[in-house]
Amino acid sequence: MVANLYLAPRKEKISWPFLKAFICANSLKIFAKQILEWYASHKRELPWRDSADPYKIWLSEIILQQTRVAQGLPYYHSFVDAFPTVNALAIAPVDQVLRLWQGLGYYSRARNLHACANQVVSEYGGKFPDSAKLLQGLIGIGPYTSSAIASIAFNEQVPVVDGNVYRLLSRLFDDPTDISSSSAYKHFFNKALELIPADQPGEFNQAMMEFGATHCTPKNPECRSCIFNTQCKAYANDTVSKRPIKLKKVKVTNRFLNYFLFEFDDRILVNQRTGKDIWQGLHDFYCIEGNLSQEELLSRLAKEVGNDVVKACVIESQSAGIKHVLTHQRLTAKFFRLSLTDRSVYEKLAENHQLLDLPQGELKNLAKPILIENYLKSGVMSLF
CA distances from 217 to 165, 166, 357 (A): 11, 11, 49
- Strand bridging mode 283-284 / 286-289: unpaired
Q: How many CA atoms lie within 13 A of 3 on its CB side?
A: 3
DSSP 360: G
Catalytic residue among 12, 37, 45, 61: 61
Other C-beta atoms lying within 10 Å of the C-beta of residue 82: 14
Tell me how far apart the alpha carbons of residues 127 and 25 are, in angstroms, rounded to a whole number.
37
Q: What angle do CA 38, 40, 42 make, to 5 degrees?
A: 60
For residue 139, which of 161, 121, 117 has the smallest C-alpha distance?
117
C-beta separation of 211 from 166 below 8 A: no
Residue 61 annotated to the active site: yes
DSSP 245: B
CA distances from 62 to 233, 336, 363 (A): 33, 36, 27
C-beta separation of 271 from 345 below 8 A: no
CA distances from 353 to 36, 271, 276, 277 (A): 58, 9, 19, 18
Q: How many residues are recorded in the chain? A: 384
User: Which helix (H) or strand (E) is 339 found in, with range?
Assistant: strand 329-340
Q: What angle do CA 221, 152, 217 make, to 5 degrees?
A: 10
Active site residues: 61
